[in-house]
Structure 1
Amino acid sequence: MVSARRSFQGALPIAAMRRLSEALAGTEGEVRFELDFGRDGFDNAYLDVRVEAPLTVICQRSLEPFVLPVHVDTRLGLIRFEREEAALPPGSEPLLVAEDGKLALADVIEDELLLALPLVPVNPDSTLPDDVVPPSPEADSGEGRSDNPFAILRELKK
């Protein structure tokens, strides 16, 4: 595929990716991908991976599920031995290929999506529940409130 500079594009159901599905809150939707094989100017084999997927994760702020649009655009340098990693150009991630040269493309796509998942997903549209958010300073009208642990310090400062 490298010497022929093959390209592939298509879609895979998210539910078909077992490892990714275990990390998600829902498996609806599909992954759209484009894969391009080739050789760079230094004769290194590579695989360009472009993936878009709407992944349902749990917001760690609100604990509600939300759809996180994930975009992956990376170049993987195809190597057969770990010592070849040093020869890869900057910006290229190593991908160790089996000795028979075969590559499971669905697994590569799934691996890249797993790597793209945030450790702590947060919905940018979410807000904290009212019982967690402290009252705003404008709402705190009592200057010497007894339940304020710093009220005594305020008095000492005067």
Structure 2
Amino acid sequence: MAGREIGGHPSPGPISVLRERLTCGLEEQAGDDALDRANMLLEQVHRFLPPERRDDADLFRERLVRSSVAFVREGEGAVEKHLRATGASHLLVNMLCPPVEETDDQYLTERFEELRDGLYDLERIDVSNPSLDARLLSIFEGLLELAGALAIYDNGPQ
């Protein structure tokens, strides 16, 4: 559901704004293929939101974290899993940035910066190198843990 019209054009809904923010810089940092995988994940999350909660940004963020695990795991082949993990990790970094900036917890802030910088460092290396996959998955898992610590989702039983 779009927002009210401004100057004859409908304003984007909260999910559209969130999706744009989450993918900001992803193409430049990780490339077209990772951006495509990130958009696949975002579309999957949006598609499975209950119709009455399609504009619920908090639910969208929670489902994004939960769905990203299966999304990465279900990639067929090493290259596909790598692209999915890269795209999902960038989405998580962009999603976690505002709550990390708002927290007074020095450990969480430092952990986030370590994971974000590690992800960006991987981008500067030949990402087709399979030995980097373990580091990428470690960063991805660390971002998931951080999302739980910041109460973006409850990592208990569903």
Shorter-normalised TM-score: what interval? under 0.3
Structure with the larger helix share = 2
Q: TM-score, normalised by structure 1?
A: 0.25
Please say which structure displays the higher CA radius of gyration. 1
**Bigger relative contact order, structure 1 or 2, given CA contacts below 8 A and separation 6+?**
2
Q: TM-score, normalised by structure 2?
A: 0.25
Structure with the larger strand share = 1
